Amino acid sequence: MSRNQTAPPSSTIDPYEYPQIVPNHDSTDHHNIAGTSPIITKDVTLNPNHNTWLRIFLPSQALASTSNKTKMFPLIVYYHGGGFTTSSAASTMNNDFCSNTVLQLVVAVVSVEYRLAPKHRLPVAYDDATEAASGNIAYQVGLRASTAVDGFKPLKIRGLVLHHPFFGGSQRTESELRLVNNPILPQSVSDLIWKLALPIGVDRDHEYCNPTVGGGPDHFDQIRKLGWWVLVIGCDGDPLIDHQRELVEILNKKGVLVEAQFNKGDYHGVELMDATKANPLFKFLSHFIKPRFALSRPYYRRYFKVLLMSLFANYFVIFIYHNSKELLYS
């Protein structure tokens, strides 16, 4: 280049702003942010040895907070359904449901990719869930958490919500016989799922499948002492509804604070497969969740407030009041 030749003009466009991505502090990850989208997402490795990871969903207003006034959102840790054997946190159905959850409840969602059976039989999914922190995964992790609450401090677990929890047993129930060939969850499929997911050599009367056996009922006393609320949601078009109702009866007998809602018709996991059915669910969850945080929120702004939940078969969520920006920039 000659001395008289002018240098080419410098670009004035921020290369990160143009495609709507933001670099992390360590320059290894990026937050994909759609310019007009109300949702912000980010993927984070959970355990590289197990190939487990998290997908974070945030409402866009999470970035609108200032250093003087931090936005606080409930945080939902979500475990996808699929009977322990199929599906992924990366699936379109689960991503759409998480995004809809953020929009409808104005919360942050962390979707967890856990290991699947039959390669990784139970309790591997429960171990992955505990490491990160379904209805069945939520139930089992909730039982574990009830015996180790001191280790969660300053977290305080407020309740457990089971939505269409995936339970079973060796003895057929009336609803299983009535809906043996249910097109969404036929009995033969449920049996196969448990055959692939349970530890080798056990039957469906193992405590991972049947909540009425093993150490589960003993944990209910601890849940009662802790003052947790338990919400169970189902429908009579789900072959598993009798198992769900039986759990509610046991919880009531144990003196646990339990609330149940069993809808007419519908089918297992209806809210994920039919978005129009999800709105009543979100309305009910909002009615259940928000009052339990509203009174204690100012005191816990520096800490966490937790509610374990499960939605659709095999995933659970945790609600935490937390600094939402820390989810992105950590």
The domain locations on the chain are: 21-328
Specify the pLDDT at position 51. 94
Specify the pLDDT at position 26. 46
Specify the pLDDT at position 270. 92
pLDDT tens-digit map of 57-94: 998 887 765 555 666 777 777 888 888 999 999 999 99
Give, in degrees to the nearest 5, the angle at Cα 72 between 69 and 78: 155
Q: Could you say which residues of the chain have pLDDT below 50?
A: 11, 13, 15-21, 25-34, 133, 295-296, 298-305, 309-323, 330
Q: 25: buried, middle or exposed (CB in 10 Å: 19+, 13-18, 0-12)?
A: exposed
Specify the pLDDT at position 192. 93
Any alpha helices (H) in the chain, and if so which ranges? 92-105, 124-132, 136-146, 174-178, 187-197, 216-226, 241-253, 270-273, 278-294, 324-328
Specify the pLDDT at position 250. 94
Instruction: Look up tokens 């909002």; give the residue.
Output: 286
Q: Please tell me the distance from the alpha carbon of residue 93 to that of residue 85, in angstroms, as a whole number.
A: 16
Pairing between β-strand 108-113 and β-strand 72-79 as defined by DSSP bridges: parallel
For residue 55 the two structure tokens come to 């997908």
Does CATH number 3.50.30.30 belong to domain 21-328?
Answer: no
CB neighbours of residue 174 within 10 Å: 10
Q: Please tell me the distance from the alpha carbon of residue 222 to that of residue 47, in angstroms, as a whole number.
A: 30
Specify the pLDDT at position 205. 96
Instruction: Look up tokens 């601890």; give the residue.
Output: 222
